[in-house]
Amino acid sequence: MGSFNIAVIPGDGIGPEVTNGTCEVLQVIAQKYGHSFHFEELLAGGSAIDATGETLPASTLAACKKSDAVLLGAVGGPKWDSLPGKQRPEQALLGLRAGLGLYANLRPAVLHKELSQACPLKDKYVADGIDIMIVRELTGGIYFGERGRRDGGKSPDGQDMGQEAYDTESYSVLEIERIARVGFELAMGRKKKVFCIDKANILETSRLWREVVGRVSLEYPEVEVEYMYVDNASMQLVRRPSDFDVMITSNIFGDILSDEAGMITGSIGMLPSASLGAPGKPGMYEPVHGSAPDIAGLNKANPLATILSAAMMLRWTLGLRKEADAIENAVSKVLSEGYRTIDIAYSEECTVLGTREMTQKVILSIV
């Protein structure tokens, strides 16, 4: 029996719809398994701008730091699109990642067999299923490096180059080591295979990445390591997706490859994610999708990505494995019974449900 404080940031658009239902799912888990979850609802993103003028109020970050885990819906929407970059709702995400030290982003890409029709690849490429765990470095690299504009000077033939822009990629041994360990630890509980994705034929950061991953791999002799250039990885993901298991990547490569891996497994409404920091610190769990303003308030959003994110939270931060399994099994059962939200309704035989009804089906399927 455990008692846990969960910071809930519903955010904007469909965020409140999918997080409310997910909290109901978690309450049912608490009742069935004898735990207590205390939810504290917090502001971030567009709704925080409207209420406080800030995208990430200091009180939100402070409450998240004190919590056991954070559940986030999504932030952003057209209402705030004209704000300058630093004042936009999406800045809240960077603030939360940096403020909570969330350096490891786990994005599983699983093809649920019931949703195989959602996969855009031919059957022969996915006959063995898809079960990939992308482990993306989240607080370093080019997204956090020095950037700016400057005078581009003259070209070799004397032409004025005009203004130039630059972004900087840098990685330290510590940053690579800690993300590599997350990847190897995960691999130990899976098929014991790690793919190190980089561009070591060109980039110095990638060469350091390979050196460090190679050193860390010595601590995990049972785990097989395959090094792959990112351009090749993006091809192999559509050619032989079943061969991949844990993929360790830098921030930018992981950002791109996880969207590709997500796409080949079907709808964005099915993809959960976890962002983890130092052991013992709160992790943040959120669906991969955004605030979907086009369907907000219409009871059309697929809540499963957020519900599956909550399962990851139980497994990775709260240490409640059988409870996580219970949620994942409930989702599989509902899908196998033919229930779908509109984004994953590919066959005429399925029964289309709204957000609330899908959530209730999952709740009723928890054993």
Residues in contact with ligand NAD by the rule CB under 6 A: 14, 74-77, 90, 93, 268-269, 286, 289-295, 301-302, 305, 343
Strands 246-249 and 193-198, sheet pairing:
parallel
The least distance separating ligand NAD from the CB of residue 14, rounded to whole angstroms, comes to 6
Distance CA 301, CA 305 (A): 10
At residue 69, what are phi and psi to the nearest 5 degrees? -160, 160
Tokens of 127: 């006959």
The least distance separating ligand NAD from the CB of residue 66, rounded to whole angstroms, comes to 22
Classify residue 158 as exposed, middle or buried by CB count within 10 Å of its CB (0-12, 13-18, 19+).
exposed
| Size of the chain in residues | 367
Q: Kindly tell me which of 205 and 267 has the beta carbon lying closer to ligand NAD.
A: 267
Q: Kindly tell me which of 76 and 254 has the beta carbon lying closer to ligand NAD.
A: 76
Distance CA 142, CA 172 (A): 13
Nearest partner of 178 among 101, 230, 245, 252, judged by Cα: 101
Provide the 3-class DSSP secondary structure of residue 43.
coil
Q: How far is CA 300 from the centre of its chain?
A: 21
Q: Kindly tell me which of 21 and 140 has the beta carbon lying closer to ligand NAD.
A: 21
At residue 137, what are phi and psi to the nearest 5 degrees? -65, 135
Distance CA 329, CA 343 (A): 21
The least distance separating ligand NAD from the CB of residue 27, rounded to whole angstroms, comes to 21
- Sign of the alpha-carbon dihedral angle for 89, 90, 95, 97: positive
Residue in the structure block whose two tokens are 């499963």: 304
Q: Kindly tell me which of 93 and 335 has the beta carbon lying closer to ligand NAD.
A: 93
Strands 131-137 and 3-11, sheet pairing:
unpaired
Q: Kindly tell me which of 13 and 140 has the beta carbon lying closer to ligand NAD.
A: 13
At residue 6, what are phi and psi to the nearest 5 degrees? -115, 120
Q: Kindly tell me which of 73 and 245 has the beta carbon lying closer to ligand NAD.
A: 73
Provide the 3-class DSSP secondary structure of residue 249.
strand
Active site residues: 143, 199, 231, 255, 259
